[in-house]
Every structure is written in structure tokens, then in C-alpha cells.
Amino acid sequence: MINRFSRWATRSNGWCRHRVKAVFTSLFVLAVLNPTIATAEDDPLGSPVSGFDGTYKIHLSENPKIRSSGRPEPGYFDNLVIEVFKKAGIPSQLVAQVPWKRVMELATKEPGHVIYPTTRTESREDAFNWVGPISRTIWNLYGISTENWGEHGFEQVLNEARIGVLLGSARQGYLQQRGAAQLIMVPREELLLPMLLADRVDLIAIGGNILRHYINAIDISDTPGKLPKIDGALAYRSCYLYAAISGDMPNSDIQKLQQQLDDFKRDGFFVENRRNHGLSTNQSGSFLSAMLDLDNNGVSCVDLNGDGDDD
């Protein structure tokens, strides 16, 4: 197993596990007592109703907390989606980020909400119009490397491991569908890493870039040099991410938006936007090769069952 996080987290010679558990148990309690904005996904219930006024509502994926942290991805997605609407000539207005569950509830009742990055799943297919893909993610179960969960098969892990996952997320729904026996669900994504380090769960289902951000923040500000190695124990699914638009929208609008995104992938803006936000621009790598291949429009998720690697 290739360790994706050896440069962010190292174990010191004098590290004591019970001390780290105590530290991160405290972090967990503080996080529960100090609610923040959630950034994860929730499956919609019901169907959007009519009442579109002609202006799309772009729900920004960035909030002040994440903006000040230096994490690049939210600004990247915001800029991409805003420019797609602008260049396509489609009227839109920006809406400050609110909890993901609230956004999804709004989308079931009102047309014209633009939500991203969103996993395109079968359960969501008919509830939204889709523009993308705008990214791709490998779903990994991450754990402390010395626990060696990667040596077990995916089915064994589902049966035996305590898996932390965000409540209402697409990952939760998928793991439940696959028969995970011990899902530990949390209301906010930032609780997952403290739970892993406090030995409350064996593995966590979280995005690799997001986990890297949380590891960096803890390593720098709380306990530098005293974290155990964390790696992607099992890659279990590959999914494309889209901008999801609620309601029965004009087909001409959706086609214009998709065409503009495709043009950005042809003319270099898509890659340049990644460069401007500190993200990889390696067009020979598997990620950008897949993203720039317009034949992948409409692709959702593919099961890996533990056979794969993180982007």
C-alpha cells in the first residue's frame, strides 16, 4: 500500500497512544459544542416544484472558515462554475454557503438551485440536471497504517471495521447498501479525523484532499510531529462530480452550460483554473486525462472493491 500521507504525518519515537487519544477526544468534544457549516452531500427527497424566475442560484462551496485555512479546492470549484455561467450568458446570482442538508432541501422544493461538487448517483439522477463532470474522486477508507486494514478484503472490512462516515452523505448511503455492519455516523465531516485518532473508529470514509487539509491543520497547530501515519487502506469506488441543477430547467440552458464547460476543457481554461488554485495540471496523469475526455460526460460511479488508488 502506497502511503499517501507520509509527508504530512509522522510518528515520533516517544509518542504515547493514550496521550493522543486524550487530545483528540477533547477536539471531538469541542467540535460538537462549536457547530460549523457542513460541506458534505445529502440525497434529495421528493421532486422540485415549478416557479423558476429565470435566474439560477449558485450556492458557493466556500465559506469564510475554509477560505482562511488556505485549502484550494472550494475556490477552484466556485470560480469554474461562476465562469461557466458567465461565458454561457446564463443569468445567475451568488448565494452564500449554508449547510449542505439545507441546500438539498431547498433543491427539492425550488427550481434553479446550482449545487456542486455533487456526486452523480442513480438515486439523484432524475432529481437534477447535470453539468460536468467538474472533478473525479476516489472513495477511500482511511486508517492508521499500523492497523493494516488494507491487508483485508473489502467484504471483511465491511463486516468487521468500525467505519466513520458523514451522516446523509453519498458515502453513507453506499456503505449501507453494501452491508457495512458498524457505521458510525457524524453530523460534520471535521469530526472524522479526531474520532480516528481517538480510536473511536477503525476507518473513516472521507475525501483524500479534505483529509489532507485536516491532517495539515492538526499537525501544524496542535501536535506537530506526533501523529501516526494515516493512509488509504482501501479504495472502494470511483465517482465523477458535477454541478447539479434542480428543477425542470430549459434544455437549452443546460446544453449551453455543458457546451461552455466542454469548451473550457478544450481551450485550456479548465487546466489553467486548476493551476491558479495550486492543483495538479499533469495532463498525462489519470485524473486530468479522464476529466478532459469529453466521452466521460454522463459517467457516474464505478465500484473498485478495494482495487484502486487515490487520485
Q: Distance between CA atoms of 291 and 239, rounded to whole angstroms? A: 12
- 34-59 as b/e, with b when 16 or more CB fall inside 10 Å? eeeebbbbbebeeebeeebeeebbbb
pTM for the model stands at 0.66
**Number of C-alpha atoms within 13 angstroms, CB side, residue 259?**
10
Residues 204/164, Cβ–Cβ less than 8 Å: yes
Written as nine digits, the cell of 112 is 434553479
On average, the pLDDT of the chain sits at: 80
With bands split at pLDDT 50, 70 and 90, how would you rate the model's confidence at 130? very high
Q: Looking at beta carbons, which pairs linking 285-292 to residues 24 or more positions away fall under 8 Å?
A: 286/311, 287/136, 287/311, 290/136, 291/133, 291/135, 291/136, 291/265, 292/265
Residues 152/192, Cβ–Cβ less than 8 Å: no
Question: 38 pLDDT exceeds 80?
Answer: no
Give me the pLDDT at residue 286, please. 87
